[in-house]
Amino acid sequence: MKLAASLVCLTSLLISGCVDRPPSFTPSLPEARVRIAGTIGKVSATVDPATQAAGDVSLIFGSDETPAQWQRGLASALDQSRLFDGSPRILDVTVTIIKMKPPHTGATIETPASARYQVFDAQSHAVVFAATIDNVGRARPDDNFLGAVRIRDSIDRAVQGNITLFVERLAKTPELTSP
């Protein structure tokens, strides 16, 4: 009886660790100290087909939703940062995912991420800011015992870090910002 109870308890612990939680691609950002003249219009995210075909973008663990989640995380981060002052000029933001390749195994999971961002005037279609942001999301064994969860966490951290670096770089662009 004790063996059966122990097995049920162990199985419950293992299964609960496998519960698929939704990814959180929205970083926690402070309110920006500077403002960009304009309002956010469309925010879109896509995967570069050439880099995906070359194997530089690996969409695993249901991450075929990664572009849509990246788009939502980026839109939320821009709103949260209050970087744009709400003036009539509409600025659209696009992100093209050019690298996202988590390993399939490992103790410390490191997911490299690279994305090309463009901010452009919605009316004139002139690009007002462009940058490629590279970073790595890491999840260590002491973050979670299960490797699948560490992979998911490293993907989340890679995207959150990439979005954070983009917002920080955008806020430091003197020709766009005002105090």
Confidence grade of residue 14 (pLDDT, cut at 50, 70, 90): very low
Q: How confident is the model at residue 11 (pLDDT cuts 50, 70, 90)?
A: very low
Question: If DSSP codes are grouped into helix, strand and coil, which group holds residue 28?
Answer: coil
Residue 17 located in a structural domain:
no
Give me the pLDDT at residue 63, please: 55
Q: Is residue 40 part of a domain?
A: yes
- Tell me the CA distances in angstroms from 159 to 25, 141, 166, one per residue in order: 6, 20, 11
In a domain, 129, yes or no: yes
Confirm whether 164 is domain-assigned: yes
- Residue 68 in any domain: the answer is yes
In a domain, 42, yes or no: yes
pLDDT digits (tens, 9 = 90+) for 128-175: 999 999 999 988 777 666 656 788 888 889 999 999 999 999 999 988
Q: What angle do CA 172, 176, 179 make, to 5 degrees?
A: 70
The boundaries of the domain holding residue 68 are 34-178
State phi, psi for 28 to the nearest 5 degrees: -95, 110
Is residue 140 one of the residues assigned to a domain? Answer: yes
Domain count, the chain: 1
Return d(Cα 165, Cα 132) in angstroms, integer.
10
17-31, 49-63, 93-107, 159-173: the lowest-pLDDT one: 17-31
CATH of the domain at 46: 3.40.50.10610
More confident residue, 71 or 4: 71
Identify which has the larger pLDDT, 59 or 138: 138
* 68-113 per-position pLDDT tens digit: 889 999 999 999 999 999 999 999 999 999 998 887 777 788 899 9
Residue corresponding to tokens 């890679």: 158
119 in any annotated domain: yes
Instruction: Specify the pLDDT at position 94.
Output: 98
